[in-house]
């Protein structure tokens, strides 16, 4: 079976947030003083697995675990192991996750054993002072050790870097060469206007079409056919052995090829990152409705998946999306 929305887009990619908690406070993601949800409102690992099972039966091939920071969720490795046991016996082909890297050194071996062969690491600077500034609590050395440990365990890594005006724009060439030296890919991402974060996104936003033009002078980029199932467009260069990706939700959206939906840690299915509509599965799971009913609700949700997102960044304008990034993990 294949999930298809009203615009005939095939949906085979599920992103699921296993927690709203995080051990960092990146300034574009959440406020420094966050109030997290009571644990009873968060889906149990068994509820997450059951939802995943239903999506897999409907044709989902790729599952990405997100947060918050997924590795702070107690027993998340048990969930990964259970999902891994379904690979090749079902439609599921890949389990991956997005992490800030703070716990990678501890969990890299377990992730590899659990069938995670590829991860994204969110890292916006390799300047120690800037890293502390943007994350509030972060230790850059710990993250770099985690990246090296993941590589040692043969986990492919891609760095995700949010480009922020007057913060890390001057570091991007250095970041490209740094990732190239480590033999890992890097993707630059435009900041997205999601919820209030103590900072006006207008003053953070740096359009990637202009960033690309500046970097292209240095690297003379060549477009590649690389496709990881996500929204990035990848390039290489005769100066590089790695790939450089660009994700442009504002300057050049990729909605026409959207193949994914997202579930929050509370069980809300968001059909689009850039819209507020959702279908709530937590009560369905807790009132013990049948799997057939769950599948019916999933298919209903796909039929109301929006055609595109509505991100807009303007000075002194509150974000249209009211939830913080940690709700759905980007």
pLDDT digits 0-9 by tens, 62-81: 999 999 999 999 999 999 99
In this prediction, residues 191-199 reach a mean pLDDT of 62
- Render pLDDT for 176-187 as a digit per residue (tens, 0 to 9): 999 999 999 999
Q: 229 in the Ramachandran plot: left (φ > 0), alpha (ψ -120 to 50) or beta?
A: left
C-beta separation of 186 from 313 below 8 A: no
Select from 213, 256, 252 the least CA-distant residue to 233: 252
CB neighbours of 93 closer than 8 A, spacing ≥ 6? 61, 62, 87
Please give the domain boundaries of the chain with CATH numbers for all domains: 3-328 (3.20.20.70)
Check residue 194 and give its pLDDT. Answer: 53
Strand ranges of the sheet holding 118-122, from the earlier edge strand across to the other edge: 222-223, 233-236, 244-247, 185-190, 156-163, 118-122, 94-99, 62-66, 13-17, 260-263, 268-270, 278-280
Closest alpha carbon to 157 in 179, 184, 134, 176: 184
Angle, helices 208-219/172-182, rounded to nearest 10 degrees: 60
The proportion of the chain whose per-residue pLDDT surpasses 90, expressed as a percent, equals: 71
Angle at 104 between CA 35 and CA 25, to 5 degrees: 25
User: What is the distance between the alpha carbons of residues 103 and 146, in angstroms, rounded to a whole number?
Assistant: 7
C-alpha 192/C-alpha 281 separation (Å) is: 26
Q: Is the pLDDT of residue 203 over 90?
A: no
> What's the rounded Cα separation, in Å, for the pair 239 and 228?
23
Average pLDDT, integer, range 213-239: 93
pLDDT value at residue 229: 78
Q: What is the pLDDT of residue 88?
A: 84
Residue 67 Cα to chain centre, angstroms = 8
Whether the bond between 261 and the residue before it is cis, its omega within 30 degrees of 0, is: no
pLDDT of residue 57: 97
Q: Report phi then psi at 263, rounded to 5.
A: -115, 130
Check whether 320 has a pLDDT greater than 90.
Answer: no
pLDDT band at 82, cuts 50/70/90? very high
**Whole-number average pLDDT of the chain:** 89
**d(C-alpha 44, C-alpha 49), whole Å:** 9
Identify each DSSP E strand in the chain by its residue range: 3-4, 10-11, 13-17, 62-66, 94-99, 118-122, 156-163, 185-190, 222-223, 233-236, 244-247, 260-263, 268-270, 278-280
Q: Mind spelling out the 3-state secondary structure of 214-273? A: HHHHHHCCEECCCCCCCCCEEEECCCCCCCEEEECCCCCCCHHHCCEEEECCCCEEECCC
pLDDT at 276: 76
Q: Tokens 């590589």 — which residue?
A: 151
What confidence tens digit (pLDDT) does each residue in 101-146 have? 999 999 999 999 999 999 999 999 999 999 999 998 899 999 999 9
Confidence of residue 290 (pLDDT cuts 50, 70, 90): very high
Q: pLDDT tens across 293-307, in order?
A: 999 999 999 999 988
């Amino acid at each position: 079976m294949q999930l298809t929305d009203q615009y005939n887009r095939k949906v085979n990619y599920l992103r699921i947030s296993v927690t709203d908690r995080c051990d960092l406070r990146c300034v574009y993601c959440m406020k420094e003083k966050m109030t997290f949800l009571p644990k009873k409102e968060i889906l149990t690992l068994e509820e997450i697995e059951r939802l995943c099972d239903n999506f897999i039966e409907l044709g989902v091939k790729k599952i990405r675990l997100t947060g918050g920071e997924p590795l702070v969720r107690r027993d998340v490795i048990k969930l990964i192991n259970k999902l891994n046991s379904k690979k090749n016996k079902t439609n599921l082909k890949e389990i991956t996750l997005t992490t800030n890297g703070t716990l990678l050194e501890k969990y890299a071996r377990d992730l590899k054993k659990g069938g995670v062969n590829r991860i994204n690491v969110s890292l916006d600077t390799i300047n120690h002072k800037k890293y502390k500034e943007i994350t509030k609590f972060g230790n850059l050395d710990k993250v770099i050790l985690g990246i090296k440990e993941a590589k040692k365990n043969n986990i492919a890594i891609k760095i995700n870097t949010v480009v922020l005006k007057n913060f890390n724009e001057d570091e991007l060439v250095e970041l490209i060469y740094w990732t190239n030296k480590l033999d890992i890919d890097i993707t630059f991402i435009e900041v997205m206007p999601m919820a209030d974060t103590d900072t006006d996104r207008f003053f953070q936003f740096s359009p990637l079409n202009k960033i690309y033009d500046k970097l292209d002078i240095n690297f003379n980029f060549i477009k590649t056919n690389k496709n990881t199932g996500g929204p990035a467009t990848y390039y290489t260069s005769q100066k590089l052995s790695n790939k450089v990706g660009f994700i442009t939700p504002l300057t050049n959206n990729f909605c026409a090829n959207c193949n994914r939906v997202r579930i929050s840690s509370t069980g809300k299915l968001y059909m689009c990152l850039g819209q507020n509509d959702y279908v709530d599965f937590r009560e369905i799971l807790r009132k013990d409705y049948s799997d057939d009913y769950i599948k019916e609700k999933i298919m209903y949700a796909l039929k109301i998946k929006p055609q595109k997102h509505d991100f807009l960044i303007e000075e002194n304008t509150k974000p249209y999306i009211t939830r913080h990034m940690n709700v759905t993990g980007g």
